[in-house]
Amino acid sequence: MRNPRPFDSWELAVPALPARSRLYSLAPIGVGTAFVEGLTSYVSRLAAAHSVSVGNLVGRELSDNGPGPLPLVHPSKRLQNGRSLFHGFAGASYSLNGAGDSPRLWIEVLEAKTCRRELRVLTLLPFEEILPDTKLFRKRRAWCPDCFRGWRKGGDHLYDPLLWSLRPVSFCPLHRQPLQERCPWCNRGSRPLASFTRPGHCSRCQRWLGVRSRDEASESALDQHQMRHAYWVATALGELLEATPRVPEGLMRAAFRKNLRGLVDRFAAGNATAFAQGLSISYSILDGWLNGKSAASLDGLLQLSENLNIAPINLITPGSALRNVDVKQIEKLMHDGPGHRRRFPNGAEIRRVLQEASKQVPPPPLTRLAHKLGFQDASRLYQIDAKLCRLIAKNYREFADSYWWRQPGAQPICTIEEMRDALEAALAADDPPSTKHLSRGLGYADDRLMRNRFPDLCVAVGAKRRKWKASLPARIRPTIEKALAEDPPPSLMQIAKRVGIGTLKALKKYYPNLQQKVASRQAAFRRARDRQRRMALEKALTENPAPCLANVAKRLRISKATLSSGFYNLCEAIGERYRMGFTTARVRD
């Protein structure tokens, strides 16, 4: 008997289908490389893939069907001048490739439309905590014609890398040629993302950009030093963008501070001032980085990286700076660089100097030792060996000739009679100064000597000063009330100067509610002023002949820009009425 022939079994369950995207799920180009695509380029390629303009894609599809209107899309413009079908997109700058709420909203919309989840790496959002969103990008679109020509010849996609949008990059690291910003055909610049932007083509004349302009190439010719610097900048920032998918987000700022502190301790013995001088950078900027008070600007990060010969990515990666540093080059720069003043000692040398100073007769002061070693004060010496520093300070105090006033023939700072006269004059004054202020005026650092010699007078001066300060609020109240009644009301600092108080802190101490009163008074003044301006503009709309906006602004003694910023619709109506009346008059003539 024959065996029955088996039949294949079919799975009748419906397979799970992945979510479908409304737009093409276009894959970004160059992720994980130095030539990663920018978000502005991705939007233009997405528009070209759907055979629509960038303006229609952004204004009609991305903005209308997203969670809300995108930045740089103005729906109100669709109703102006009868253009009900206008998409409302006016163009975007390279800030779309940066960090902040605007790029984050664009990415949210694009990822929802394309079902892509890696569009964040097309911007500088991964570096948001280390690079502030200011002065990162150039204002106009830039490109390398040789790259466009090579990509089209090889059948590759045309796009604009994120590297080209960065303001410090003026050089193509592949072809070692300057980037261009003007079209070789129409000789005009263009926005990074305009209504008719196409990859590899001018958004104004729509012609091919893979041709290098001879005039621009000759004008931007660089010498060898400039070429090396431009190539280094492009390569360093390319390495930064290449590491975007694997950067440790949330740890970069702390890693930068730790790496920088390690470099300062290693090559300047912990002296941040000496480190800044050796690298010829601003100490205030370096101190802000070390304390975490300020983020590293792109130019500052590049300058620090170039001086240390460390790639920027190594400065913001945990534990990477000291492993990739050229020790001999940095030590040479510290000892012989343009900002060098003196050799910076290490801990062993400082301890040896302190040991020798503890045995010297006469003993030297610690401040002199610190200056000799290259430090501004003795804090670094106490960090190395506090016990030796205290011994040196004790020897200096106990030595008879250590202070100049202990030396034979030394003249006193002031006589006892002068000190008594100053206290009696202060006691007779209506607003007596403090004893500390009197002592500093006589040449002393504090008022200890004055209190030891004339304790009764000092107590009397202090009591009178306390009484004067207690009566201060009642005496200055009329001045403050008079200032609050003025139009326009003065600021807090102006009120403080009138009543003779030097700081806002002291003024707020006596009148804690003054700031709120001034703010409410200023708000009421602004409301009344705006009400008068509105009435003046409404009256100008009824005048015949129609006045121009410049004359109306001149009557109100403000500029047209200020007037338009507060009353845009009324100013537009006045301008339109003036133009219509002027046109009618010309036709009659």
Q: What is the DSSP string of 434-476?
A: PHHHHHHHHT-SSSHHHHHH-HHHHHHHHHHHHHHHHTHHHHH
- Is the backbone peptide bond immediately before 488 cis, with ω within 30 degrees of 0? yes
List, for the chain, all residue ranges whose pLDDT scores fall below the cut of 50: 79-84, 217-220, 339-341, 583-589
In terms of residue numbers, what domain contains 449? Answer: 416-464
Bridge partner list, 166? 137
Are 130 and 296 within 8 A, CB to CB?
A: yes
Rg value, the chain, Cα: 36
CA distances from 12 to 7, 9, 15, 240, 501 (A): 15, 9, 9, 51, 88
Region for 148 from its dihedrals, namely left if φ exceeds 0, alpha if ψ lies in -120 to 50, beta otherwise: alpha
Exposure string (b/e) for 528-537, b if CB count within 10 Å is 16 or more? eeeeebeebb
Residues across the chain:
589
> Domain for residue 110, yes or no?
yes
Residue located via tokens 């490109």: 143
Q: Are residues 477 and 548 in the same domain?
A: no
- The strand pair at 171-172 and 177-178 is best described as antiparallel
Which residues have a Cβ under 8 Å from the Cβ of 1 and sit 6 or more positions away? Answer: none
Structure tokens at 74: 């103005």
Helix (H) or strand (E) holding 418: helix 416-428
Are 573 and 538 within 8 A, CB to CB?
A: no
> Domain for residue 150, yes or no?
yes
pLDDT of residue 156: 92
> Domain for residue 342, yes or no?
no
Region for 470 from its dihedrals, namely left if φ exceeds 0, alpha if ψ lies in -120 to 50, beta otherwise: alpha
Q: Are residues 394 and 441 in the same domain?
A: no
Residues 568, 569, 570, 574: is their CA dihedral positive or negative? Answer: positive
- Other beta carbons within 10 angstroms of residue 456's beta carbon come to 8
pLDDT of residue 218: 44
pLDDT of residue 570: 84
pLDDT of residue 584: 45
Structure tokens at 285: 């900027």
Q: Are residues 424 and 298 in the same domain?
A: no
> Domain for residue 143, yes or no?
yes
CA gap 576, 136 in Å, rounded = 40
The amino acid sitting at 29 is: I
Q: Are residues 290 and 424 in the same domain?
A: no
Q: Are residues 83 and 187 in the same domain?
A: yes
CA gap 403, 395 in Å, rounded = 12
CA gap 494, 521 in Å, rounded = 15
Tell me, what CATH number does 324's domain have?
Answer: 1.10.260.40
CA gap 485, 466 in Å, rounded = 30
Cite the DSSP H helix spans in 7-144.
Answer: 39-49, 54-56, 101-114
Q: Are residues 166 and 291 in the same domain?
A: no
pLDDT of residue 404: 60
Q: Are residues 55 and 147 in the same domain?
A: yes
Q: Are residues 241 and 332 in the same domain?
A: no
Are 301 and 312 within 8 A, CB to CB?
A: yes
Report DSSP letters for 145-183, one per residue.
HHHHHHHHHTTPPP--BHHHHBTT--EETTTTEE-B-S-
Q: Are residues 44 and 154 in the same domain?
A: yes
Q: Please tell me the total count of domains within the chain.
A: 6
The amino acid sitting at 396 is: Y
> Domain for residue 294, yes or no?
yes
Q: Are residues 188 and 156 in the same domain?
A: yes
Q: How many CA atoms are closer than 13 Å to the CA of 118, on its beta-carbon side?
A: 13
Q: Are residues 365 and 431 in the same domain?
A: no
> Domain for residue 535, yes or no?
no
Which residues have a Cβ under 8 Å from the Cβ of 427 and sit 6 or more positions away? Answer: 457, 460, 461, 464
> Domain for residue 211, yes or no?
yes
Write phi, then psi, for 313 (nearest 5 degrees): -65, -30
- Cα 398-402-407 angle, rounded to 5 deg: 115
CA gap 491, 480 in Å, rounded = 11
CA gap 55, 64 in Å, rounded = 12
Longest dimension (CA), the chain: 139
Are 23 and 113 within 8 A, CB to CB?
A: yes
Q: How many CA atoms are closer than 13 Å to the CA of 425, on its beta-carbon side?
A: 8
- Is the backbone peptide bond immediately before 362 cis, with ω within 30 degrees of 0? yes
CA gap 460, 465 in Å, rounded = 9
Q: To the nearest whole percent, how much of the chain has pLDDT over 90? A: 19
Find the helix packing angle between 347-357 and 386-398, rounded to 10°.
30
Q: Are residues 318 and 192 in the same domain?
A: no
Are 328 and 250 within 8 A, CB to CB?
A: no
pLDDT of residue 72: 61
> Domain for residue 8, yes or no?
no
